[in-house]
Structure 1
């Protein structure tokens, strides 16, 4: 037989279905939002780690000159678990938009590599097998089985049939890097005329190797390679290949977690007020139970069970929504950012947190109103009428009656509920306004970054011609107004105070006409004086924020030299980079060649036609073209990163706004439910449905308009927060922030729609009831 204290809670659940459902809805939505965001972050970090482990991504990659055999001494070095040599070639592939840069990797003849494992999907088996990486397939709009045209430096255009696709999590997604990836068998490489010599060495360290030990091992490996006649041009750590993906997602999800926590607090405040109103209907019942001798423990048991049922339902629903919501989010991120594998199990810590909050929120939310009733004298509880706690405050008269006055009085009659509704809507609105402002700021910053490149095309060439002859060859081409020969190489930069990192080194004319750097500190390159470099903000952040005037040691191959940091320039979202005057570079390495040509076209010149002419002239001169790219294509890639950031935060703002709208509708529905008899009396004395609808609409509009004004005020500090977090994560320094008037007026329109929409549904539903039924309530 069911205990007596259990019957009443179950009866109350059935009797107060509407209010209980509204409370459940508020709890489930608040917990689900927080659960989805937190679980997505944890699952993405786990997926990133799992992808690196399963793919056996190299701990260090050495890019070298061509060699035939991997030095046997590498395997004998303590701390090295595995060392493998691989083929890597730069080339170009023909697409619908012209030739695009591509990197070709050689496949092993018999078995898969132990380091940097990939997954092949064979659709069209062939001896001359060629596989396109999945994000490359999407970027170039290729299909498995089609024939593609390739240009290998120094070779004529040749064709290959795609045998299938490859997933390689170690690769930065092609849309972000602008470079495609192909994997070819030995037969396919021979068909293209590529020599079967190695140009890359991948190293996997023993587990537990510290960062200091790894740095020492890299130095010892470089010495072994040097003694074997192999020159290492660049060393890349595993973290660098995952840096942009991890930074991008971590920055977004960290911001969203803070938003989720704040919305959870606001949701708890609203839920507390909803419980206050539910308990208010039980005041007289609790008084009667106390009169007939029921102990306080008996009353607490009733509500413990009642709240336990709410907590159980909240947990099951929020856990399910969190799982499926984060599952979709992680799957989307894994596909967009080329993360090879991910798990779809729910994280235990999220389960425990949701379990705790599912019961803590209703118990804590109901504790104060229950305790408040139990502390009342019995005479007050027996005298109290349902739907309200007694108030001794005198109501101030407005002197006249009208629907607007009544709307104002009802809107402000439940101040706690009104404040929580206003804060929730204001928070969502502030996020949307700030997100629109962030989008404007990022695009403005992107336009400033794009001014750095004052040319139209960039050519990567390999030639023995002196720099002056190479640039003269470009300048005499019809349609070219200016050309400059640059040298672009990878280097390792080390500071005296200990900072060390790989970077792209660009040696260019001190008075270059084709770039306009935005100098943040110090000055741009100058002719003469002490050997100096200029670094960008990305490199500055990774080196520990050095100041102009500090010394930095640069290493290229076997050569090392100390330079002064002359200035700091803004980021171009292309990673860490250092800039050096062409004169200093030539004196250091005694080289007068260029491997990169920047080209500015004349007004009205057609890029494709100029490219064809340059291609022919370079081939006639024996120069090998390793890659070409237009500045327009380079400028488009950062927009995809910015678009992903803005879309993610904007989605969160919309989600929180929906939560605020649902909370407002919840509160409005409860108001309508509690005022059924009032609505019925108004209709009975001749009040039209339109007037009743306008009265409730005015109440919602008052809350919506107050929330709009607060959202506009909150958007400024929130915009500053977003600009600081996103700017520091992506660019190494905070972005400028300010008011965005267009966003404020957009949110004004949305607030009016939200205010009208929140009241329309519950009121129209109530007006559809028969008048006798309303008067009975």
Structure 2
């Protein structure tokens, strides 16, 4: 049952919220920013993970897919009885070319199931429109990234039998389709009757296979290929699942959001500082009121409950709007990101944990932080409370500092003296304000250091490679051997040299590492050997390791490195050398270099197979390289290969854009911490203006102008900012190093590159924060009337 005193305290709490509207707005805004940032990140992460998990969910998607010239019933029976095969399905697949107006011609797979309602593998979900009828096609919803389209629109394709025109009947989303979408290849679905007419075939031409053990997928695929060759079937295309890609993407997304969440937590900490300062000031102003409540029988616990109700009102307001806007912005951001990456996030959904974390950070954390000033402020006795003047009765605690300043800063102007003296009037509040500003500065410095480190890494990704155009395939190997590819591409006039490469991702004790196969007599790779020797022709089961990974793994030349591939192959190779190089692909935890023959033997490829080509041109001008790139692309299209062609300059630009996307988000998180820091300093100066009303009145009565009064509080804010900068100098370097270390552990290794120019830039940021925070309180102080200041109590 609520007592009369509790009712009175509730009414007082509401009055405290409504009476100081500016103070209420500051506290609510600080809580809002913290909850908004954390909720937005959590919603963004949840939807991205949800979409990523959908795309990687291969529980009902084929692990192996063969496209052949025709199917034999005996082949299907032998596939079904092969050890390691769990499920098989006959289907019809056609390979088409889709001329787009955005990125040129892209490939498209069109699949048709003999019995769509009872398909076991590769079944899709209809998201809009209807099932395709005669002359109609169903496109994946994220194919709009390749070419915008709408329902009932006619699209033009080039197929095996010539150009075709199809009407878009609807859109779909298919779980497990990540591997094909990563290559910018479109996916469509048709009825088997319509597709058979386009392909001029009457029976299925593809076998989809689900294996029992993904780690043994390569052995199963080899056994199935032997069956096809035994029956004299021509394999036109093969797709094999990569489990490492799934692990790699999941680890990257998790680590990235952990880093952003670490920065966003700073905003919550700074908002707690602001709340503690606010309550400390509120209690100091209401000492006599607290004494009166105790005199009429109020206990410390009852009084604390009353103030906690005030905090609860602040928290509910900030948390409600923070959750609402965080969900909206986070979801919009996830949709935008998914559109860029070609993902389909599916229907709107929010995890319950998002609300729970928002409530804990916006309500529980402020209530917990409020207990510190409330316990300290309400234990005062009735006599002490009644006799205290409140906010002015702190001179005894500051006399030592004032004497020190008076002795050493006597040459300062009076306005400067008054401004500096105000710093130490409330030492606890000043300490938290300085800490909050220093946290804002160090957060900004950490983001800048990560930017410098990523840029340093991006500048040297492909330093050791000497080529103009590269060709890479998402398949483990091109369907044609290197000799045939070299013969086809050598006819291009500007091509001077073509070299093969074979790459793979391997699991090592320290993470997923990039395995690069290179010709032992390479002309496209600089042999930057720091120790040991280069690959000898025919040398088996040996490798070279980059120096940073070697140090991190605590290995040395002569030792053996044990690793495994995503297809279940395990190996232990000897380290014969150390390289001054890094992984050419962002995100991998190191670089392992060996011969192309070693890689092919490891993953089970046929001798001479490649999945990379490095092309050197005669004319190195950008225009000539671009022209050569287009011709290479056309030749490989005619050979019906899945590939990506890019110049070295284009790859460098893509690396720079990827790096920019990373540290821009870190800057946004740091800006959130800085904004709460502005609110904290603004609140401190506003409280100082309210507490020093009589001092302002005396200064005005002695002839001080509005500008001089404003300068007092501006100097106070600037002094707090400079002290925070000095603290940031002490904390910035170790915190930045720690953040780069976390980045290297959670995402991928980057060198620690600290830019000395970031220190004065951090000072500029803090001065900007301080100036913005000082503007409102100084204007308010300069406009106070003398009569009002002398009446203030």
Superposed pair shares fold, TM > 0.5: yes
* Partner in structure 1 of residue 595 of structure 2: 581
Cα-to-partner distance string for 1:356-389 (whole Å, 9 max, x where unaligned): 4555445444434444455444432221002245
Question: In 2, Cα distance between the equivalents of 1:558 and 1:314?
Answer: 52
CA, structure 1 residues 251+337, in 2 after alignment: closer, same or farther (shift >3 Å)?
A: farther
Where do residues 630-709 of structure 1 align in structure 2 (5 Å cutoff)? 630-631=646-647, 632-709=649-726
Quote the Cα distance in structure 2 between the aligned partners of 1:558 and 1:350.
37
Once the two structures are superposed, the pairs formed by residues 321-400 of structure 1 within 5 Å of their partners are 321-341=325-345, 344-388=348-392, 390=394, 392-393=396-397, 394-395=399-400, 396-397=402-403, 398=406, 400=410
Judged with a 3 Å threshold, the aligned counterparts in structure 2 of structure 1 residues 289 and 482 are, in CA distance, closer, same or farther, namely closer
The reply to whether residue 272 of structure 1 matches residue 276 of structure 2 is yes
Change (3 A) 1:558 1:301: closer
* Corresponding residue of 2:250: 246
CA distance, structure 2, for counterparts of residue 172 and residue 473 of structure 1:
31
Assess if the C-alpha contact under 8 Å between 2:437 and 2:724 holds in 1.
yes
Task: Give me the whole-angstrom Cα distance separating, in 2, the residues matched to 1:361 and 1:559.
Answer: 50
**Conserved 8 A contact 1:680-1:774:** yes
Residue range with higher mean Cα deviation, 372-381 or 583-592: 583-592
Worse overlay, 742-751 or 602-611: 602-611
Instruction: After TM superposition, give the deviation of residue 263 of structure 1 in Å.
Output: 3.8
CA distance in 2, matches of 1:135, 1:229: 36
1:512 to 2:530 alignment: no
> How far apart, in 1, do the equivalents of 2:610 and 2:220 lie?
31
The CA distance in 2 between the partners of 1:558 and 1:387, in whole Å, is: 72
Displacement, 1:131?
5.9
Change (3 A) 1:331 1:709: farther
Contact 1:44 1:330 in 2 (8 A): yes
**How much has 1:688 moved relative to structure 2?**
1.5
Number of the residue aligned with 1:115: 121
Q: 527-536 or 685-694, which moves further after superposition?
A: 527-536
* Structure 1 gap ranges (5+): 206-212
Task: Give the Cα–Cα distance (whole angstroms) in 2 for the partners of residues 466 and 299 of structure 1.
Answer: 83
Deviation at 1:408, TM superposition (A): 0.9
Residue equivalent to 2:765: 750
TM-score (norm 1): 0.80
Does structure 1 residue 607 correspond to structure 2 residue 657? no
* Residue matched to 2:208: 201
Q: 2-side partners of 1:525 and 1:92: how far apart?
A: 41
Q: Secondary structure at the match of 2:757?
A: helix
| 1:284–1:382 CA contact under 8 A, matched in 2 | yes
SS at match of 2:339: helix
SS in 2 for 1:739: coil
Aligned with residue 102 of structure 1, among 99, 107, 124: 107
Q: Which residue of 1 aligns with 2:582?
A: 570
2:535 counterpart (525, 529, 540): 525
Which position in structure 1 is the counterpart of 2:430? 418
State how far apart, in whole Å, the 2-side matches of 1:196 and 1:596 are: 34
Query: Which of 387, 408, 415 does residue 403 from structure 1 map onto?
Result: 415
Shift of 1:728: 4.1
**1:760 Cα deviation (Å)?**
0.9
User: Does the CA contact (< 8 Å) of 1:456 and 1:601 recur in 2?
Assistant: yes
Task: Give the superposed CA RMSD.
Answer: 5.0
Written as runs of structure 1 = structure 2, the 5 A alignment for 1:287-298 is 287-296=291-300, 298=302
1:519 to partner: Cα distance: 6.3
Q: Return the alpha-carbon distance in structure 1 between the equivalents of residues 67 and 120 of structure 2.
A: 20
User: For residue 209 of structure 1, what is the aligned residue in structure 2?
Assistant: none
Residue 255 of structure 1 deviates from its aligned partner by: 1.0
Q: Which residue of 1 aligns with 2:456?
A: 444
Shift, 1:521, TM fit? 7.9
For residues 537 and 64 of structure 1, the distance between their equivalents in structure 2, rounded to whole angstroms, comes to 43
Give the whole-Å Cα distance in 2 for the aligned partners of 1:228 and 1:470.
24
- 2:734 pairs with one of 682, 705, 717: 717
Alignment of 1:226-265 (within 5 A): 226=226, 235-237=240-242, 239-265=243-269
Q: Return the alpha-carbon distance in structure 1 between the equivalents of residues 25 and 482 of structure 2.
A: 76
The question of whether the paired residues in 1 share the 8 Å contact of 2:6 and 2:302 is answered with yes
State how 1:32-181 maps to structure 2 within 5 Å: 32-42=36-46, 44-49=48-53, 58=61, 60-61=63-64, 68=71, 71-72=76-77, 82-84=87-89, 94=99, 102=107, 104-108=109-113, 111=116, 113-119=119-125, 127-129=134-136, 133=140, 135-139=142-146, 145=153, 150=158, 158=163, 163=168, 167-168=173-174, 170-172=176-178, 177=182, 179-181=184-186
Residues 1:762 and 2:777 are matched in the alignment: yes
CA distance in 1, matches of 2:305, 2:347: 41
Contact 1:169 1:338 in 2 (8 A): no
Given that 1:56 and 1:114 are in contact with CA atoms closer than 8 Å, whether structure 2 keeps it comes out as: no
TM-score (norm 2): 0.78
SS in 2 for 1:481: strand
Q: Which runs of 5+ in 2 are unaligned?
A: none
Contact 1:407 1:699 in 2 (8 A): yes
CA offset digits 1:694-718 (Å, max 9, x no partner): 2221111122223334334434233
Cα distance in 1 for residues equivalent to 2:568 and 2:113: 30
* Structure 1 residues 476 and 234: CA distance shift in structure 2, 3 A: closer
What are the within-5 Å matches in structure 2 for residues 23-38 of structure 1?
Answer: 23-38=27-42
Alpha-carbon distance, 1:615 to partner: 7.9
Q: Look up the match of 2:466.
A: 454
State the Cα distance separating 1:111 from its structure 2 match: 2.1
Q: Deviations over 1:385-432 (max 9, x none)?
A: 022455533353316461111111112322222222222222233233
Distance 2:541 2:383 in 1: 91
Tell me how far apart the structure 1 counterparts of residues 437 and 541 of structure 2 sit (CA, whole Å). 58
